[in-house]
Amino acid sequence: MAQLFQTSIGRKVAMALSAIFLMVFLLQHFTINSLSVISPEAFNEVSHFMGTNPLVQFVLQPVLIFGVVFHFLMGFILDIQNRRANGQTYIKYNGAANAKWVSRHMLLSGLVILGFMALHFVDFWFPEVNIKFIQGDWSGTAEGVEGFRYYEELRHKFVNPYRVGAYSVAFVFLALHLNHGFTSAFQSVGSNWGRKKVLQTVGLIYSYVIPAGFIGIALFHHFTH
């Protein structure tokens, strides 16, 4: 096993597995967020469950954090290795002739997403950690808010148009990242599904619908505030 990850292919399999894991998480995250548009109560319920369930908090959350950190660190490491393999660069290189822009710029789209995540953590995750782990408040309620606080906090965040703008831009890059990443992950783990029309279509739908959905949710809250 350890031997596997010492090979170039092993590393790319690891990269792909973390990607597939993150894509599943993204789908879950998106589903919960969608509830905020349909039913604030349901959103609050689920958010509270996710925020307080010990399995989620103490098992899944660390796994997720590991997955995220692993994915971007590995991304950097592989990119550095790949650059090193290049040697002298071409005077003229027509990358557009044979590969899609998105596939050639995963690092760029990844970096934008990483930047977004910093913002996202400042917005949501750090306050949550602060409330739950530092202040020790696991009630899910806040002063002046009826029932659970999650929905109101979410609404509050999307008042600022700059934040909404930043989120939207980041999601565009997420779409680009997924556009290549989805099928690429299947190829990397040795599956030919990534080459099949069906999965390519699913990938295409996934890579556009989810980021567009996130943008839609942000805009919805911004304009209905």
What is the nearest approach in angstroms of another protein to the Cβ of residue 83? Answer: 8
Instruction: Kindly report the three-state secondary structure assignment for every residue of the chain.
Output: CCCHHHCHHHHHHHHHHHHHHHHHHHHHHHHHHHHHHHCHHHHHHHHHHHHHCHHHHHHHHHHHHHHHHHHHHHHHHHHHHHHHHHCCCCCCCCHHHCCCHHHHCHHHHHHHHHHHHHHHHHHHHHHHHHHHHHCCCCCCCCCCCCCCCHHHHHHHHCCCHHHHHHHHHHHHHHHHHHHHHHHHHHHHCCCHHHHCHHHHHHHHHHHHHHHHHHHHHHHHHHHCC
User: Minimum Å distance from CB 17 to another protein?
Assistant: 11
Beta carbon nearer to another protein, 35 or 113? 113
Minimum CB separation of residue 73 from another protein in Å reads: 15
Min. distance of Cβ 77 from another protein in angstroms?
10
Residue 11 or 29: the one with the smaller Cβ distance to another protein is 11
**Nearer CB in complex with another protein: 124/193:** 193
Question: Which CB, 3 or 135, lies closer to another protein?
Answer: 3
Could you list the residues that contact another protein (CB under 8 A)? 1, 3-4, 7-13, 78, 81-95, 97-100, 103-104, 106, 180, 183-184, 187-192, 194-195
The nearest distance, CB 94 to another protein, in angstroms, is: 3
Our CB check for another protein shows the closer of 81 and 130 to be: 81
